[in-house]
Amino acid sequence: MTKPVLSNSIAARDVAFHIHSQTNPQLIERDGPLVVARGEGVRVFDAAGKGYLDAMAGLWCASLGFTNDRLAAAAAKQYAELGFYHTFFQRTQEGVATLAEKLVELTGMEGGKAYFATSGSEANETMVKLAWVYHTVRGKPTKRKVIARERAFHGSTIAAASMCGLEFMHREFGLPLPGFLHTLCPSPYRGMLEGEDEAAFVERLADELEKLILREGPDSIAAFIAEPINAGGGIIVPPARYFARIEAVLKKYDILFLDDEIVCGFGRTGNWFGKETVGAKPQMMALAKGLSSSYFPISAVVVAPEIYEALKEFNKAGGNFGHGFTNSGHPVGVAIALEAIRIYEEMNVVEHVRKLGARLKGHFDALAAASPIIGEVRGAGLMLGIEIVADKETRVPFDPHLQAGMQFDRIAYDNGLIARCMGDVLGFSPPVIVTEDDVDEIADKVARSLKSLEAYLGR
């Protein structure tokens, strides 16, 4: 970490004037920030010139690395032609139409349409509002509540944070808001009972969901939201047939399925979208992050035709859709997203991620076989997690006071690797452009860091 030494240093001014996201105020005042000075492909360099292979692509997002010339050129060209325009009051631009068409095609939401926003949180909140319109138009205005899952992350705005199933997103703010409910997390490693197999686990998850719906009243439930593979809750891959079973329950009670693809989209899990990896069939999808490789704050919601029809029906007397962000369909974000998608297509992102993901997972599996503290390696494509435990047999976790995961992150930093612990799950979501050498380097640095962690933990 860069220490705030001089009073006018970047670090000192940052500590003096800047409030950080997801950061402990006392720790940043004590230790100062990591000042990221520049990027180069899959690496970033701090102010002292130390390089890090960022195996988290920033925040699961910089899929094309940190210095993609083509994205920079697409932005520069668009800025020169039209630096801003909006999509209110029947305005559009060529890129908006092209990107919307492309997203409907890529997501397979046949006959559907795309809406643009600027963050993942906004995309998720847009899905909730559209779900309310949908039910209202169909004569069911009492269907308002949203069911999310424990350990879910869906964003930081008030409804999105309410959909999170993580205590740290709620405790300062008195959230969740009323009407935002949570059902069980489909974590086979942590959630299966003794003697239960995956099929029985899935049945229990579906039963619990149904019980919750019946308790609350089916006429009060609008939607269920889930990531295909839960990223921020600790890379949780649901058991096979989980979504098929859950969707049957949703259908029975006329509840919409909102698919948060904000991390899983654009090849991350070894398919264009996570829904293909887990066999899900949502009525709406939220996209962000990889959409523009996060070179611009742009997000999108792609909806099935019946959702758009409801919106049209609601406003048939002449009202406008009462929703919109100044930067919805920002021309520069759109131009960058179109170029990012072109690159994903040219590099055959799906095949590349499958190949490199399998190589990285192979390394991690080998590490797990030799390590006394790796309980499980899991994930799909280039979205992998390693859960470390005090006892591999019993899956007993480390004492939380040891902060084993956090300690791993610190050691990895020292070794020039950026990973991201979620409790004691070590997360890896490198830029999808990683090469075999990059993947081998990640694995090597993880192996070294784990050795040091084992020594630190006295193992």
Ligand X SMILES: Cc1ncc(COP(=O)(O)O)c(C=O)c1O
Residues in contact with ligand X by CB under 6 A are: 59, 119-121, 124, 153-156, 227, 231-232, 260, 262-263, 288
Q: Which of 237, 261, 232, 226 is nearest to 357 (CA)?
A: 237
Report, in Å, the least distance between residue 299 CB and ligand X: 6
Q: Where are the beta strands (DSSP E) in 171-261?
A: 180-183, 221-226, 256-260
Report, in Å, the least distance between residue 117 CB and ligand X: 9
Alpha carbons 103 and 409: distance in angstroms, whole number: 36
Report, in Å, the least distance between residue 231 CB and ligand X: 5
Q: Where are the beta strands (DSSP E) in 288-423?
A: 299-303, 374-380, 383-388, 417-418, 420-422
Strands 221-226 vs 180-183: parallel, antiparallel or unpaired? unpaired
Report, in Å, the least distance between residue 137 CB and ligand X: 27
Q: Which two tokens stand for residue 400?
A: 């939380």
Report, in Å, the least distance between residue 218 CB and ligand X: 26
Residue number, 117 or 304, with CB nearest to ligand X: 117
Residue number, 260 or 376, with CB nearest to ligand X: 260
Alpha carbons 255 and 270: distance in angstroms, whole number: 28
Strand arrangement of the beta sheet that strand 417-418 belongs to: 36-40, 43-46, 51-54, 417-418
Residue number, 166 or 373, with CB nearest to ligand X: 166
Report, in Å, the least distance between residue 284 CB and ligand X: 13
Residue number, 233 or 239, with CB nearest to ligand X: 233
Beta bridge pairs of residue 114: 302
Alpha carbons 188 and 349: distance in angstroms, whole number: 28
Report, in Å, the least distance between residue 247 CB and ligand X: 19
Residue number, 54 or 260, with CB nearest to ligand X: 260
Note whether 23 and 15 are within 8 A (CB): no
At 266, the amino acid letter reads: F
At 121, the amino acid letter reads: S
Residue number, 186 or 375, with CB nearest to ligand X: 186
Q: Which residue is nearest to ligand X (CB)?
A: 120
**Residues in contact with 217: Cβ distance below 8 Å, sequence separation at least 6, in sequence order:** none
Residue number, 258 or 390, with CB nearest to ligand X: 258
Residue number, 155 or 238, with CB nearest to ligand X: 155
Alpha carbons 148 and 125: distance in angstroms, whole number: 13
Alpha carbons 95 and 101: distance in angstroms, whole number: 10
Residue number, 95 or 232, with CB nearest to ligand X: 232
Coil vs helix vs strand at 72: helix
Report, in Å, the least distance between residue 303 CB and ligand X: 17
Report, in Å, the least distance between residue 75 CB and ligand X: 19
Phi, psi of 219 (to 5 degrees): -75, -5
